[in-house]
Amino acid sequence: MIQFCFPTVYWHFSIGQIDFDNLGNKCLINTEWNCKVKTSRGVEYKWNQFLQTIQPYFLQLPYKKQGSLNFSEPWMNIYEKGCYQEPHHHISGGHQLSYCYFSKLPEGSGKFGFWNEQFRNYCSNELYDIMNLDTVEWGFPDVKAGDLLIFPSFLIHQVTYHSLDESRVTVSGNVKMIVNDDGGDTFRYGVNDSVPGGLAEYCEIDLLEISKGGVVGINSTKPYCGS
C-alpha cells in the first residue's frame, strides 16, 4: 500500500464573505511590479475589521509557546483577465505565517497552488516516469469564495492564469510571531488578561499601530505581486 511521509502543512477555513467597501475600485497596477495585477498596496485603508475577522482562526492554530501575533498590513489583489502570479514565497520580513483570503473567486478562476518541493527529486532519476507514484508538482487547495488559507511563509505558491472576464479578488498578508521571553509553555495566544474585550486587544501591537496611521511589519524589500 502506498504511503506518504512529510505532508505539507496548511490550514483551510471557510469564514464567509467580508465587505471591503469600495477598496477594489481603488486598486491600481503597481508600476514596480512586472505584472498587470491590481493591488491595494499604497492605498490607505483601515484593515482593523478584516484583521479582527481573521484573527480568531489564527488563534485556533496549535502553538506550544506563549507570545503574540503581529499582523502586517494586508493587501488586496485583483486578477483581471490574463493575470497570473509567478511562484514565490513570503519569507522576507521574518514572517512565520502567511495567508490568503479569497474574496471573489468565480468558477474557473486562476488557481492558488502550493509547490511540492520534492517533486523534482522524483523526476531527477526518472522514477516518476517509470512508476505510478500518485504525486504531483503542484497542489491546488479546493477553495471557494469566503475561504481563508493560512500557510507557512516559506511555502512556494503561485496563481495560475486567470482567463475569465470576471475578476478574481484576494486579500493576503503576513504574520510574525513574537514569543514571550518568560519561556512559558502554555498556549496564551489570544489571551490578554490585562485588557478587557479579548481579541482585538490581543493583537494590540499591530492594531494600535495601524489605528495610529502607521504600519508595522510591512515587507519593504523587493516587491512581488503576492497572491
Alpha carbon 78 to chain centroid distance? 15
Interface stretch with Fe ion, choices 71-79, 178-186, 198-206, 218-226 (CB under 5 A): 218-226
Please name every residue paired with 147 in a beta bridge, in sequence order, or none if there are none.
Answer: 14
Minimum CB distance to Fe ion smaller for 66 or for 227: 227
* 74: contact with Fe ion by CB under 5 A: no
* 227: contact with Fe ion by CB under 5 A: yes
Evaluate whether 98 touches 173 at the Cβ level (below 8 Å). yes
Minimum CB distance to Fe ion smaller for 217 or for 226: 226
Q: How far apart are CA 33 and CA 125, in angstroms?
A: 37
Contacts to Fe ion from residues 144-163, by CB under 5 A:
none
Evaluate whether 23 touches 75 at the Cβ level (below 8 Å). no
Q: Nearest residue by C-beta to Fe ion? A: 227
* 219: contact with Fe ion by CB under 5 A: no
Minimum CB distance to Fe ion smaller for 40 or for 227: 227
Contacts to Fe ion from residues 80-139, by CB under 5 A:
none
CB of 167 to Fe ion, least distance (A): 17
CB of 11 to Fe ion, least distance (A): 16
Minimum CB distance to Fe ion smaller for 65 or for 88: 88
State how far the alpha carbon of 112 is from the alpha carbons of 92, 98, 104, 189, 200, in Å: 20, 14, 13, 28, 29
CB of 170 to Fe ion, least distance (A): 9
* 173: contact with Fe ion by CB under 5 A: no
Evaluate whether 146 touches 16 at the Cβ level (below 8 Å). yes
Interface stretch with Fe ion, choices 14-22, 58-66, 160-168, 219-227 (CB under 5 A): 219-227
Minimum CB distance to Fe ion smaller for 20 or for 101: 101
> Would you state the cell numbers that stand for residue 120, as one nine-digit string?
523534482
| Residue type at 106 in one-letter notation | P
Q: How far apart are CA 10 and CA 150, in angstroms?
A: 6
* 226: contact with Fe ion by CB under 5 A: yes
The count of residues in the chain is 227
> Would you state the cell numbers that stand for residue 173, as one nine-digit string?
498578508
Residues that bind Fe ion (CB under 5 A): 226-227
